[in-house]
């Protein structure tokens, strides 16, 4: 197999030819068809997350075909198309796992962070954390659903029954969540970087009722807001935008420091909450909704060898929707 490897924090990925590793008894070996490029991959490469141990292989929005199964695997067979998400495994015994909150497990592993990921031609993954996909699923279109879609879905659930929702940062996750929210009958307002006319037009194209700069207050008070951009300064802005009793959900794994803000922005029972990781139950619920809601992902495809360019373009906001890597022929 070959992979794009992070050899040192902050350095460009390098192509490496690696030996094929046999799957452990509880794992499957997956031939990768496509892997989405997530902002979390940037946080891994840049060392924003703690305990990044190089060398490692980023990537956690994986779609591929099971090639080989470990001795103890009974739920998957060779030839099955699966998704491999961010949550790689959990301990199953800590207080959070016992309370069906495995996203907060005390001893988890994460694909593309603490275990090898999908910027490669193959990956080994725990079979019981893989997501079975339809045989006719489009690998490129499906890849962004494995994190941008799942985390976006968990954020939307945390937003409660809010009818009017603001989305701050209109990238991979927001363009999926906007479609789900519209299918549910909610009204979506998109907040982007100042002057991002292209991003605002994209937001309106996928169903936003209004799109403008995050520096603007928006045309009407919001019931809830979801922040996808890793910018702490957006928290006070979102609190200003939600009405009494409203909720602000922070959906990123990393965010710059939140500046001080007056208590009056939180008063009147506004709430500020975060979302961490995902659960397998999230995946089951979300992938049931995907065909019903008619979700269509907007993707820009890069060759695996061009992973560094994909990361740079993501950092620069050079495309709408999501970037997806496909292995070299």
Average pLDDT rounded to a whole number, residues 17-30 = 96
Between CA 313 and CA 307 the distance in angstroms is: 10
- Taken in order of first residue, the domains within the chain and their CATH numbers are 2-146+278-326 (3.90.180.10), 150-274 (3.40.50.720)
Tokens representing 261 are: 């803000």
Between CA 39 and CA 321 the distance in angstroms is: 12
pLDDT of residue 34 exceeding 80, the answer is yes
Sign of CA pseudo-dihedral 58, 60, 61, 66: positive
pLDDT of residue 217 exceeding 90, the answer is no
pTM: 0.95
Which tens digit of pLDDT belongs to each residue from 64-122?
Answer: 999 999 999 999 999 999 999 999 999 999 999 999 999 999 999 999 999 999 999 99
Is 88 buried (19+), middle (13-18) or exposed (0-12) by CB count in 10 A?
A: buried
């Amino acid at each position: 197999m070959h992979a794009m490897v992070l050899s040192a924090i902050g350095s460009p990925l390098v192509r490496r030819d690696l030996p094929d590793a046999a799957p452990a008894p509880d794992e499957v070996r997956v031939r990768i068809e496509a892997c989405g490029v997530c902002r979390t991959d940037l946080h891994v490469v840049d060392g924003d997350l703690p305990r990044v141990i190089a060398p490692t292989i980023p990537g956690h929005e994986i779609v591929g075909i099971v090639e080989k199964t470990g001795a103890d695997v009974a739920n998957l067979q060779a030839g099955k198309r699966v998704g491999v998400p961010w949550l790689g495994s959990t301990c199953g015994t800590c207080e959070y796992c016992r309370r069906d909150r495995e996203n907060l497990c005390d001893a988890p592993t994460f694909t593309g962070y603490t275990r090898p990921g999908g910027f490669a031609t193959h990956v080994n993954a725990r079979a019981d954390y893989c997501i079975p996909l339809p045989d006719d699923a489009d690998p490129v279109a499906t890849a962004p659903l494995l994190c941008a879609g799942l985390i976006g879905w968990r954020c939307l659930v945390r937003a409660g029954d809010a009818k009017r929702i603001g989305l701050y940062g209109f990238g991979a996750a927001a363009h999926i969540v906007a479609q789900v929210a519209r299918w549910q009958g909610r009204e979506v307002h998109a907040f982007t970087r100042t002057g991002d006319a292209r991003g605002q037009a994209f937001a309106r194209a996928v169903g936003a009722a209004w799109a403008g700069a995050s520096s603007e207050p928006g045309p009407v008070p919001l019931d809830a807001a979801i922040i996808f951009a890793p910018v702490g300064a957006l928290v006070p802005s979102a609190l200003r935008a939600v009405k009494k009793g409203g909720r602000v959900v922070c959906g990123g794994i990393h965010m710059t420091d939140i500046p001080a803000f007056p208590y009056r922005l939180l008063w009147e029972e506004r709430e500020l909450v975060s979302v961490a990781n995902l659960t397998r139950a999230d995946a089951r619920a979300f992938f049931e909704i995907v065909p019903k809601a008619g979700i269509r992902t907007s993707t820009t495809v890069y060759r695996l060898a061009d992973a560094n360019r994909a990361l740079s373009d993501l950092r620069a906001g050079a495309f709408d929707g999501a970037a997806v890597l496909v292995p070299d022929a």
